[in-house]
Amino acid sequence: MNDALKATLAPTLKSWIQSANDPASDFPIQNLPFGIFSDAVNAQPRAGVAIGDWIADLAVLEDARLIDARGTFHASRLNDFIALGRETWRGVRIALSALLAHGNATLRDDEALRRRALVPRSDATMHLPVEIPGYTDFYSSKEHATNVGSMFRDPKNALLPNWSELPVGYNGRASSVVVSGTPVRRPNGQIKLPNEERPIFSACRKLDIELEAGFIIGRGNALGEPIACEDAEAHIFGMVLLNDWSARDIQQWEYVPLGPFNSKGFATTISPWIVTLDALEPFRTATPAQDPQPLAYLRHEGDHAFDIELEVTLRPEGAHTPTTISRTNFKLMYWSMAQQLAHHTVGGCNTRVGDLMGSGTISGPTPDSCGSLLESTWNGQRPVKLEEGGERAFLQDGDEITLRGWCQGEGYRVGFGECAGQILPARG
């Protein structure tokens, strides 16, 4: 990382946009996450960067020749920009950081340009930030896998023999990935009741969340050419929050022998802002100890986990006060993003710009740090108490789930914004 890039991460760096200097803001000048937005003035979706309470319209700034991305910021997805490569991403970051920094008058004092280039975030509609060619979901939290294995198998054999040897994953459904704020309809499917010989067709009765983080592929690999573990992070553009909604009763019946299908394919929600790995650099930390030592192709030196605080709230329809149902941290993940990507491609699978990789449910060691209701309620046996009365074993219609995540720095935080969705009734 060169000196100009390091300067964009300085904790003392401030912006002339005052809301970006609020220690509680998710979007200080050290963050500069990318997304796609539109507004009432311009209904065309285009690229923007979140800064405090505002969005910097990158298409306007590029037209004014203050940044250069070869015209890609007018597109309705970020794929073309991402495909320009890491040097271009970093060049835009450096230019934006300088432009928005306290003391730089170029944009600050050009009133006409500033009015066009800065859009209040409250006035914007956020869109899916990338076209997603493929989606893969992993299963990389040891605490989560142990909880689920203990619940449905023998606690002494909670982890299957392969779990500690490789990042377990499955190919999900990219077409049903939606942006935060999109309502999620309760799915219908086959459910096998305990005392019935055959399954019934019914609306899901055990609708659940999965608190995850996801990463977006920034540089693909050719078919038959694996990505080395030590090189994998150079292929990652950035991270989002991810809720892989899960129909547990449908899943329990269908997942043998090939894994989840309709129980997962109905919706996966991601946050609209992609936080770059460069913005997350100061928050690197060590991954948990891995025993046994991974095979050679899954080894990497240095710190490859990230200290990201995570929180989930549930707000019933009509309630004023949401209930916090989980607090945990991404740094607990047993398998790193680099190991996941190396394993994903070791057999020769190609990846493409915009591909989404989910971490798998992120759980901690205590009930209040579980990343799913399946775990925190122990499959409905210990319902969660709600702030305004009532309880939840699984989600009810009208419930709104919101995921939040942030890295805490000295006097600032690098946040992801919200990843939210409300449950609609199943179709009759």
Identify any residues that bridge with 212 across adjacent strands, giving them in sequence order.
Answer: 242
Q: Give the integer Cα–Cα distance in Å for 374 and 372.
A: 5
Is 153 assigned a ligand-binding role in the annotation?
yes
Q: What is the token pair recorded at 362?
A: 């992120």
Is 137 assigned a ligand-binding role in the annotation?
yes
Q: Give the integer Cα–Cα distance in Å for 212 and 265.
A: 16
CA angle, residues 415, 421, 427, in degrees to nearest 5: 165
By annotation, the residues acting in catalysis are 144
Is 244 assigned a ligand-binding role in the annotation?
yes
Is 154 assigned a ligand-binding role in the annotation?
no
**In Å, how far from its chain's centre is CA 11?**
24
Is 264 assigned a ligand-binding role in the annotation?
yes
Annotated binding site for Mg(2+): 244, 264, 268
Annotated binding site: 137, 139, 153, 210, 212, 244, 251, 255, 264, 268, 361
Annotated binding site for Ca(2+): 137, 210, 212, 244
Annotated binding site for substrate: 139, 153, 251, 255, 361
